Amino acid sequence: MTTLARSPLQAGRATVNEIEPSFDVEKVRADFPILHQQAHGHPLIYLDNAATSQKPKAVIDAIVQYYEHYNANIHRGVHYLSERATAQYEAARKTVQRFINASRPAEIIFLRGTTEAINLVAQTYGRVHVGAGDEVLITTMEHHSNIVPWQMLCEEKRAKLRVAPINDAGELILDEFEKLLAPRTKIVAVGHVSNALGTVNPIAAIVKMAHARNIPVLVDGAQAVPRMPVDVQQLDCDFYTFSGHKTYGPTGIGVLYGKLPLLEAMPPYQGGGEMISSVSFEKTVYNKVPHKFEAGTPDISGPIGLRAAIEYLEALGMENIARHEHDLLNYATEKVSTIPGVRIIGTAKEKDGVLSFVMEGVHPHDIGTILDQEGIAIRTGHHCAQPVMARFGLDATARASFGVYNTMEEVEALVRGLKKVREVFG
C-alpha cells in the first residue's frame, strides 16, 4: 500500500531529473502573484521565507474554490456540499500522509501550526508520561515553540528540562546529547532544521540513540518540510510537526504526525464536538484518531490550501527544491562572507536555507531597514530563539532565508544592499 502510494511521486521525480536538469526558477516565479510588485520603488526581493513563505496561485485558487463552491461543515451533513467538503478535507490528509510518508492517514492530525502540535504532545503524551523528577531533553538551538511548552510541562510536573549543547559552528554535540539521555528522560524534542542557524540535525541518528533507551522523539520540522524530502518512517521519529504557512500553504494550518499506537494511547487535547463518539452527562466516548484530536469545526480551507501547496511542491520535486536552495545558500554564503566586518552565525557542515549573520558596528535592525529601502525583505532580531543568540553572545542577527522562487540575481542584490549598509555606517 505504502509503496503503491509513493510510486507516482518517485517516478515523477526521476522524470523531472532526466528532462529538466536545471530548476526553472522563472517559471516558478510566474506562479507567485505577490512577487510581481515593487517595494519602496524597487522590485520586491523576498528573503524571509523562514518566517513565512509566499503562496502560489494554485493555493490561493484552491481556497477560493472551496469558499465559492463547496463551503460546508464536515463530517456531519448528509447534504451535497458537506459531502464534497468532507471528501476534500480527508483527501488533504491523505496528501500529507503521502508527502511525509506516514504509514496511514489517521497518523496525520490537522492543527493550527507547529506550535499547537508541540503543545498538544506536551499536554497529552507529556502529562501522562512525565512526572516529578523526570526529564525532558531538548537542544540549545530550539525555537521558542519547542522550548516553552516543555518548560510549562516541567514546571507543572516538577520535572527537569535538560538542554543538549551545540558547538561554535551551531551543530549539536552528539556525544553530549547521548550522555544526557538518562534513565529519567521521558521524551526528546529536537528541531530538524534550525530556524536561526540553518543547521540540519542528524535526526535518524538522534532517534536511534533515543530509541535504544526506549525514549520517544518529537521532531519540529517547521523549517525542514518546505526545504527537503522528509520521510517520517525512514527517520523513525515518534512525532513530527510542521506548519502550512512555511510550506507555501495558508496560515492557521499545521500538522502533527504521530505513530498510531502512541496517538491511540494519548488522552484528548481539547474537548468538544467532532472528537466524540457519544456524549451523555454520565460518560463521553471519544472518537477515533485522528478525530479525537480535532475538536470543534476545524479550519477546512487550511488543509485544502495545504494540499494544493504540497501538490505544487511535489510537481517541482523536493529533491530539486533542496538542490536549488542549497545552491542559493552556498552562493550567498560565499558572497556575503566577502563583505568587510560580516560574520556568519551558524556554519554547520549540514546546513540549509538560512543565512544568519552580523555586521561589525551595525545592529541587525538597521541592516533590515536599509535593505527594506532597497526592496529586500529579511528578518532581523532573535528569531524566537533567544537561547541560540545567548549561545553566540548576541542579541540579534540579520537573517536571509531562501525559497523556491529566489534567484542568484536576488542574492547579488542582497550583497549590493549590504554594501550600501556599510556605506551608510562607514
Partner 1 sequence: MPDLRDLYQELILEHSKAPRNYRELREADHKAEGYNPLCGDHFTVFLHMEGDTIRDVTFQGSGCAISKASASMMTQSLKGKTRAEAEELFERFHKLVTGQSGDQAELGKLAVFAGVSEFPTRVKCATLAWHTLEAALEGKQDAVSTE
Enumerate the active-site residues. 384
In the complex, minimum distance from the CB of residue 358 to partner 1, in angstroms, rounded to a whole number: 12
- Nearest partner of 289 among 88, 110, 84, judged by Cα: 110
Query: Of the ranges 15-23, 178-186, 274-282, 369-377, which one interacts with partner 1 (CB under 8 A)?
Result: 369-377
Residue 363 makes contact with partner 1 by CB under 8 A: yes
Give the number of C-alpha atoms closer than 13 A to the C-alpha of residue 130, restricted to the C-beta side. Answer: 30
Give just the sign of the alpha carbon dihedral 234, 303, 194, 217. negative
In the complex, minimum distance from the CB of residue 395 to partner 1, in angstroms, rounded to a whole number: 4
Residue 382 makes contact with partner 1 by CB under 8 A: yes
Query: Of the ranges 53-61, 148-156, 323-331, 375-383, which one interacts with partner 1 (CB under 8 A)?
Result: 375-383
Residue 396 makes contact with partner 1 by CB under 8 A: yes
- According to DSSP, the β-strands at 135-139 and 185-191 are parallel
Residue 362 makes contact with partner 1 by CB under 8 A: yes
β-sheet bridge partners, residue 285? 278
Residue 331 makes contact with partner 1 by CB under 8 A: no
Q: Under DSSP, is residue 339 helix (H, G, I), strand (E, B) or coil? A: coil
Q: Decide if 353 contacts 50 (C-beta within 8 A).
A: yes
Site of grid cell 452527562: 281
Write out the DSSP string of 27-68.
Answer: HHHHT-GGGSSEETTEE-EE-BTTT-----HHHHHHHHHIII
Give just the sign of the alpha carbon dihedral 40, 44, 47, 50. positive
Residue 364 makes contact with partner 1 by CB under 8 A: yes
In the complex, minimum distance from the CB of residue 381 to partner 1, in angstroms, rounded to a whole number: 5
In the complex, minimum distance from the CB of residue 397 to partner 1, in angstroms, rounded to a whole number: 10
Residue 358 makes contact with partner 1 by CB under 8 A: no
Residue 424 makes contact with partner 1 by CB under 8 A: yes
How many other CB atoms sit within 10 Å of the CB of residue 4?
A: 7
Query: Of the ranges 133-141, 166-174, 300-308, 365-373, which one interacts with partner 1 (CB under 8 A)?
Result: 365-373
In the complex, minimum distance from the CB of residue 343 to partner 1, in angstroms, rounded to a whole number: 16
Select the residue interacting with partner 1 from 43, 105, 252, 381 (CB under 8 A).
381
Q: Which of residues 110-149 bind partner 1 (CB under 8 A)?
A: none
Residue 183 makes contact with partner 1 by CB under 8 A: no
Q: Under DSSP, is residue 105 helix (H, G, I), strand (E, B) or coil? A: helix
Phi first, then psi, for residue 207 (nearest 5°) are -65, -40
Q: Which of residues 40-99 bind partner 1 (CB under 8 A)?
A: 40-41
In the complex, minimum distance from the CB of residue 372 to partner 1, in angstroms, rounded to a whole number: 8
Q: For residues 247 and 225, what is the distance between their CA atoms, to the nearest angstrom?
A: 7
Give the number of C-alpha atoms closer than 13 A to the C-alpha of residue 355, restricted to the C-beta side. Answer: 25
Residue 288 makes contact with partner 1 by CB under 8 A: no
Residue 392 makes contact with partner 1 by CB under 8 A: no
Q: For residues 192 and 226, what is the distance between their CA atoms, to the nearest angstrom?
A: 12
Residue 286 makes contact with partner 1 by CB under 8 A: no
Q: For residues 35 and 46, what is the distance between their CA atoms, to the nearest angstrom?
A: 8
Select the residue interacting with partner 1 from 86, 145, 380, 406 (CB under 8 A).
380
Query: Of the ranges 97-105, 109-117, 320-328, 360-368, which one interacts with partner 1 (CB under 8 A)?
Result: 360-368
Residues that bind partner 1 (CB under 8 A): 40-41, 361-366, 369-370, 373, 380-382, 386, 389, 395-396, 424-426
